[in-house]
């Protein structure tokens, strides 16, 4: 049934000479020659070329060729061993740039310098040409990218499956203190890292209806007919491990219209309309949804989710049949699917459908396979962010899937009834269908019921899932639940983003940390060496100069590299409390204006505050918070009396490649969410690795960060998750404001209209949010302890030498937060894969 434009060979009989090549050279001569050949021949450019684009492409293609040969050998090795695979299903892969990562992981960095210098090319300049692959919103998407890097480095047979959005995360501009969104057409200049494989095109069904029929042996089956089908065309991106010849695959699906699509309409006589109607199909993968909490009800989003699940499962099953024949008896022993949040959880009913309707299995056999292959990771504690889909919409769009979900639910509710006889309230609570005037499918419950493993992403988060959101399910199936604390890859976030620090570390303790991050603990004694501290400070200062240049360029604000660099970059969200950060900034401003610094015994600590992040386009209050940051920045930066002792900037278009400059140049990392709301956080880990000290609440992975680094090297403040819940019933922000002169002064300034002189009322929604006794984020409750912790940080920063010690100890204690550790845990407890090394090691 799969449509392909590709004809199979009939008369040709390829010999190994066609597909086997001697390994490509990895020395500077071979690299330079290939770059020249790509530039002059493949790209056809010459001495007149003045654009950075072609030298970049020529270099990228030279890297891709070297990835390609390792890629094939990795696949052969997996096939040879008939290796069990894990498939990481995710609507988002926030890959960022690839060039430097390819150079680093292939191990050609040393050879590249002379190669490029002969050709007169500057690597930094060429790296800057590449568009970020921004196929994600934030943490969840970047986590998927870090996972892939670690799996390849650990030589685990893991394949990523996602969507090749034509437009990634929007580009953010700030105009008149307002966020303006602009489409990100990241593929416009081509993408040298992807390889289209039209021969592996799959077909995905939508709409239509189901009908039952009997086969020749009288068995009852269901088929899905009259559907509108869309083709899924795969594009593969190589994922290299760190200097180990393993190259795994990220397969991204792109939607295309079927041939029938035009034929049908064509016969009806409307050629142009039919060609135009191809759009409907191709729109499915047009754009990434820019919300990092679920926006309910958009049919296109559900189409995307099913598109990914269906194409990927068909792909895996088709490959299975190719290598193992039609017997699926062993399928669950050889495969598992990790669901990155509920977004791909259509995979549960879709695998049931494929096993029954396409492969002829009975329900019980199909369920045995499905429920032994699916594993679900949750990334949120906000109950309102749990995904739901209207049963009506679901039934229209995916009629066969809805039938299967109903059947799963009937059987599941029998299990609940057996366990708690007569507890009807519990059955209603746990049902996959939320009843009401517009009944909803509860995707998280579907994922839990269909999976053998359910995990949270930090210790506190997993604990709160079990005691809160998923309590009923935990009582029923405690064995399914587990924690997998997030991490980040040190290859990108240290070795590549912070080469000077990497060099200093390697000179002193060797380079084992690049593969085994916990060896960074060997740095602990170096924190006591004044010489090492001085070197460490010099590296940090150079990185701050680099960050200051970015701020100068993008914000038109001057940051003094000798000031304390205080940074909060992440999606703009009320629970992340950028607002609390701004209240502190206003507090510092008020102190300076009141001349309090002069009266103080301790002198002032100059501070540069950087805030960056995108607001979901429809999130009104988040956008207003951006405006507040920008207005406060303008007021403070332009105030002569402040005189540069305090600087504030809002960094537009925060993205992966910006973080690569930001994290190395940060002194103080703001991780200030309301306790119990941030599932994990991963930016916190990137900052810690790069020697920033955290000011934070006991939330998400902050707790584990503090445990690793020690209380004395972390600025703690705020209510605990438990205290937050206890405080809610009698929370009285207005009383807190009256009782705290500092908070009162900040609110007075805000309410006086000082920051919105020409737009009266502009910040009223923000003021009301702070003063609201039902403020879910308890901004006023944590103000005092936040200000006090900030004061401690400012004082600590005055002793640069001791700050350097704390900074070193943060890096030295960050070993736990490598995704290598995270992936080892997923593998040991969920996936159970055996590492496989490719054979026939190629030249290095």
> CB 580 → ligand 26Q: shortest distance, Å?
17
> For residues 143 and 615, which CB has a smaller minimum distance to ligand 26Q in the complex?
143
* Per-residue binding letters, 328-347, with ligand 26Q (x by CB under 6 A): ---------------x----
Distance CA 80, CA 644 (A): 64
> CB 400 → ligand 26Q: shortest distance, Å?
22
Query: Does 162 sit near ligand 26Q (CB under 6 A)?
Result: no
CA end-to-end span of the chain: 44
Region of residue 708 (left: phi > 0; alpha: psi -120 to 50; beta: else): alpha
> CB 143 → ligand 26Q: shortest distance, Å?
4
Catalytic position from the list 571, 573, 645, 677? 571
> For residues 295 and 764, which CB has a smaller minimum distance to ligand 26Q in the complex?
295
> For residues 177 and 457, which CB has a smaller minimum distance to ligand 26Q in the complex?
457
> CB 139 → ligand 26Q: shortest distance, Å?
3
> CB 718 → ligand 26Q: shortest distance, Å?
16
> For residues 227 and 568, which CB has a smaller minimum distance to ligand 26Q in the complex?
568
Distance CA 369, CA 316 (A): 14
Distance CA 670, CA 577 (A): 10
Which residue has the closest beta carbon to ligand 26Q? 139
**CA 514 to chain centroid:** 21
Query: CA nearest 229: which of 275, 268, 284?
Result: 284
Distance CA 471, CA 30 (A): 60
Query: Does 295 sit near ligand 26Q (CB under 6 A)?
Result: yes
> For residues 486 and 490, which CB has a smaller minimum distance to ligand 26Q in the complex?
486
Single out the residue of 98, 150, 153, 294 in contact with ligand 26Q (rule: CB under 6 A): 294
Distance CA 486, CA 819 (A): 7
> CB 488 → ligand 26Q: shortest distance, Å?
10
Cβ–Cβ under 8 Å, residues 333 and 86: no
* Per-residue binding letters, 100-139, with ligand 26Q (x by CB under 6 A): -------------------------------------xxx
Q: Assess whether 298 carries a catalytic annotation.
A: no
Please work out, in degrees rounded to the nearest 5, the angle formed at the alpha carbon of residue 652 by the alpha carbons of 650 and 657: 120
> For residues 755 and 817, which CB has a smaller minimum distance to ligand 26Q in the complex?
817
Single out the residue of 35, 89, 140, 311 in contact with ligand 26Q (rule: CB under 6 A): 140
Backbone torsions φ then ψ of 675, nearest 5 degrees: -55, 135
* Per-residue binding letters, 684-713, with ligand 26Q (x by CB under 6 A): ----------------x-------------
> For residues 699 and 775, which CB has a smaller minimum distance to ligand 26Q in the complex?
699
Which residues, 6 or more positions from 511, have their beta carbon under 8 angstroms from its beta carbon? none
Residue span binding ligand 26Q (CB under 6 A) among the ranges 289-297, 500-508, 617-625, 829-837: 289-297
Single out the residue of 293, 371, 529, 772 in contact with ligand 26Q (rule: CB under 6 A): 293
> CB 461 → ligand 26Q: shortest distance, Å?
8
Residue span binding ligand 26Q (CB under 6 A) among the ranges 48-56, 109-117, 164-172, 284-292: 284-292
Catalytic position from the list 686, 706, 805, 816? 686
> For residues 138 and 815, which CB has a smaller minimum distance to ligand 26Q in the complex?
138
**In the window 420-459, what residues touch ligand 26Q (CB under 6 A)?**
457
The secondary structure of 204-264 as a DSSP string is EEES-EEEEEE-TTS-EEEEEESPEEEEEEEEEEEEE-SSSS-EEEEEEEEEEE-HHHHHH
CB-based burial label for 421 (10 Å; 0-12, 13-18, 19+): exposed
> For residues 274 and 380, which CB has a smaller minimum distance to ligand 26Q in the complex?
380
Q: Assess whether 686 carries a catalytic annotation.
A: yes
Catalytic position from the list 171, 353, 570, 805? 570
Q: Assess whether 72 carries a catalytic annotation.
A: no
Catalytic position from the list 373, 627, 682, 697? 682
CB-based burial label for 530 (10 Å; 0-12, 13-18, 19+): exposed
203, β-bridge pairs: 231
Distance CA 434, CA 439 (A): 5
Cβ–Cβ under 8 Å, residues 586 and 745: no
**In the window 648-687, what residues touch ligand 26Q (CB under 6 A)?**
678-682
Cβ–Cβ under 8 Å, residues 587 and 787: yes
The secondary structure of 366-420 as a DSSP string is HHHHHHHHEEEE-----GGGS-EEEHHHHHHH-HHHHHHHHHHHHHHHHHHHHHS
> CB 724 → ligand 26Q: shortest distance, Å?
16
Distance CA 785, CA 616 (A): 30
> For residues 237 and 486, which CB has a smaller minimum distance to ligand 26Q in the complex?
486
> For residues 557 and 679, which CB has a smaller minimum distance to ligand 26Q in the complex?
679
Cβ–Cβ under 8 Å, residues 824 and 150: no
Total residues contacting ligand 26Q by CB under 6 A comes to 23
Backbone torsions φ then ψ of 275, nearest 5 degrees: -65, -40
Query: Does 283 sit near ligand 26Q (CB under 6 A)?
Result: no
Q: Are strands 202-206 and 209-214 parallel, antiparallel or unpaired?
A: unpaired
* Per-residue binding letters, 616-635, with ligand 26Q (x by CB under 6 A): --------------------
Query: Does 143 sit near ligand 26Q (CB under 6 A)?
Result: yes
Q: Assess whether 13 carries a catalytic annotation.
A: no
Q: Assess whether 623 carries a catalytic annotation.
A: no
**In the window 249-268, what residues touch ligand 26Q (CB under 6 A)?**
none
Query: CA nearest 546: which of 533, 561, 556, 557?
Result: 561
Task: Report how far apart, in Å, the C-alpha atoms of 573 and of each of 614, 626, 819 are.
Answer: 9, 10, 25
* Per-residue binding letters, 298-327, with ligand 26Q (x by CB under 6 A): ---x--------------------------
Query: CA nearest 292: which of 389, 382, 186, 184?
Result: 382
Distance CA 149, CA 490 (A): 10
Query: CA nearest 92: which of 58, 55, 139?
Result: 139
Catalytic position from the list 379, 400, 540, 591? 379
Query: In 769-791, which positions are buried (b, 16+ CB within 10 angstroms) versus exposed (e)?
Result: bbbeeebbbbbbbbbbebbebbb
Query: Does 483 sit near ligand 26Q (CB under 6 A)?
Result: no
Q: Assess whether 576 carries a catalytic annotation.
A: yes
> CB 345 → ligand 26Q: shortest distance, Å?
11
Query: Does 292 sit near ligand 26Q (CB under 6 A)?
Result: yes
Cβ–Cβ under 8 Å, residues 568 and 662: no
> CB 649 → ligand 26Q: shortest distance, Å?
24
Catalytic position from the list 359, 484, 576, 624? 576
Query: Does 486 sit near ligand 26Q (CB under 6 A)?
Result: yes
> For residues 177 and 346, which CB has a smaller minimum distance to ligand 26Q in the complex?
346
> CB 678 → ligand 26Q: shortest distance, Å?
5
> For residues 347 and 523, which CB has a smaller minimum distance to ligand 26Q in the complex?
347
Task: Report how far apart, in Å, the C-alpha atoms of 231 and of each of 194, 253, 306 are.
Answer: 18, 9, 13
> CB 520 → ligand 26Q: shortest distance, Å?
21
Catalytic residues: 379, 570-571, 576, 682, 686
Residues forming contacts to ligand 26Q in the complex (CB under 6 A) are: 137-140, 143, 289, 291-295, 301, 343, 379, 387, 457, 486, 678-682, 700
């Amino acid at each position: 049934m799969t449509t392909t434009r590709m004809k199979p060979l009939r008369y040709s009989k390829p010999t190994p000479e066609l597909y086997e090549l001697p390994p490509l050279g990895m020395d500077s001569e071979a690299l330079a020659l290939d770059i020249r050949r790509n530039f002059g021949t493949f790209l056809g450019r010459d001495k007149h070329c003045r654009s950075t684009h072609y030298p970049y492409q020529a270099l990228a293609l030279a890297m891709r060729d070297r990835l390609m040969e390792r890629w094939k050998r990795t696949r052969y090795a997996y096939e040879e061993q008939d290796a069990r695979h894990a498939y990481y299903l995710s609507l988002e892969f926030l890959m960022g740039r690839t060039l430097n990562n390819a150079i680093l992981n292939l191990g050609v960095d040393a050879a590249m310098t002379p190669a490029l210098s002969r050709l007169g090319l500057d690597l930094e300049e060429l790296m800057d040409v590449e568009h970020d692959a921004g196929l994600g919103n934030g943490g969840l998407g970047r986590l998927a990218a870090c996972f892939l890097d670690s799996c390849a480095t650990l030589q685990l047979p893991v394949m990523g499956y996602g969507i090749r959005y034509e437009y990634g995360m929007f580009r953010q501009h700030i105009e008149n203190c307002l966020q303006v969104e602009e489409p990100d057409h990241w593929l416009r200049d081509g993408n040298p890292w992807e390889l289209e494989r039209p021969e592996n095109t799959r077909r995905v069904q939508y709409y239509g209806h189901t009908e039952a029929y009997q086969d020749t042996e009288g068995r009852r089956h269901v088929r899905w007919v009259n559907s509108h089908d869309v083709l899924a065309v795969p594009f593969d991106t190589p994922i290299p491990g760190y200097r180990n010849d393993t190259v795994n695959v990220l397969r991204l699906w792109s939607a295309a219209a079927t041939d029938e699509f035009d034929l049908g309409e064509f016969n009806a006589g409307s050629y142009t309309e039919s060609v135009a109607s191809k759009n409907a199909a191709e729109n499915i993968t047009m754009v990434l949804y820019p919300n990092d909490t679920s926006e309910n009800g958009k049919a296109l989003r559900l189409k995307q989710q099913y598109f990914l699940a269906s194409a990927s499962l068909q792909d895996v099953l088709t490959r299975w049949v190719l290598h193992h024949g039609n017997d699926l008896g062993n399928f669950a022993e050889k495969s598992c699917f990790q669901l990155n949040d509920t977004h791909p959880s259509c995979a549960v009913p879709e695998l049931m459908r494929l096993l029954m309707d396409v492969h002829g299995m009975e329900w019980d056999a199909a369920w045995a396979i499905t429920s032994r292959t699916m594993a679900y990771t949750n990334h949120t504690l906000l109950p309102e962010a749990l995904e739901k889909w209207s049963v009506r919409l679901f039934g229209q769009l995916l009629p066969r899937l809805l039938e299967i979900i109903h059947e799963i639910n009937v059987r599941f509710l029998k299990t609940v009834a057996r366990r708690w006889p007569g507890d009807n309230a519990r059955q209603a609570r746990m049902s996959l269908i939320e009843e009401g005037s517009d009944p909803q499918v509860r995707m998280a419950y579907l994922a839990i019921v269909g999976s053998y493993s359910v995990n949270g992403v930090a210790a506190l988060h997993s604990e709160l899932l079990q005691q809160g959101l998923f309590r009923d399910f935990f009582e029923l199936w405690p064995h399914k639940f587990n924690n997998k604390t997030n991490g980040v890859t040190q290859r990108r976030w240290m070795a590549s983003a912070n080469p000077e620090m990497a060099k200093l570390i390697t000179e002193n303790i060797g380079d084992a940390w690049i593969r085994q991050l916990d060896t960074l603990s060997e740095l602990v004694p170096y924190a006591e060496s004044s010489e090492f501290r001085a070197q460490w400070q010099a590296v940090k200062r150079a990185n701050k100069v680099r960050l200051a240049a970015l701020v100068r360029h993008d914000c038109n604000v001057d940051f003094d590299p000798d000031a304390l660099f205080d940074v909060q970059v992440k999606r703009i969200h009320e629970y992340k409390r950028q607002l609390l950060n701004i209240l502190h900034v206003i507090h510092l401003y008020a102190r300076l204006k009141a001349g309090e610094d002069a009266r103080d015994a301790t002198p002032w600590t100059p501070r540069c505050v950087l805030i960056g992040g995108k607001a979901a386009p429809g999130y009104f209050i988040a956008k207003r918070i951006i405006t507040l940051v920008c207005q406060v920045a303008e007021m403070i930066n332009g105030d002569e009396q402040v005189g540069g002792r305090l600087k504030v900037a809002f960094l537009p278009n925060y993205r992966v490649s910006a973080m690569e400059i930001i994290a190395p140049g940060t002194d103080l990392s703001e991780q200030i969410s309301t306790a119990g709301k941030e599932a994990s956080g991963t930016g916190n880990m990137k900052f810690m690795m790069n020697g920033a000290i955290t000011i934070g609440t006991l939330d998400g992975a902050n707790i584990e960060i503090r445990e690793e680094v020690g209380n004395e090297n972390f600025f703690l403040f705020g209510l605990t998750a438990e205290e937050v819940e206890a405080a809610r019933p009698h929370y009285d922000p207005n009383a807190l404001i009256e009782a705290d002169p500092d908070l009162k002064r900040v609110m007075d300034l805000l309410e006086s209209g000082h920051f919105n002189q020409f737009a009266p009322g502009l910040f009223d929604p923000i003021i009301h949010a702070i003063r609201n006794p039902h403020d879910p984020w308890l901004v006023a409750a944590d103000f005092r302890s936040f200000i006090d912790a900030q004061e401690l940080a400012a004082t600590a920063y005055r002793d640069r030498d001791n700050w350097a010690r704390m900074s070193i100890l943060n890096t030295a204690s960050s070993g736990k937060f490598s995704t290598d550790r995270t992936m080892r845990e997923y593998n040991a407890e969920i996936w159970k894969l055996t590492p496989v090394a490719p054979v026939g090691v190629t030249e290095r």
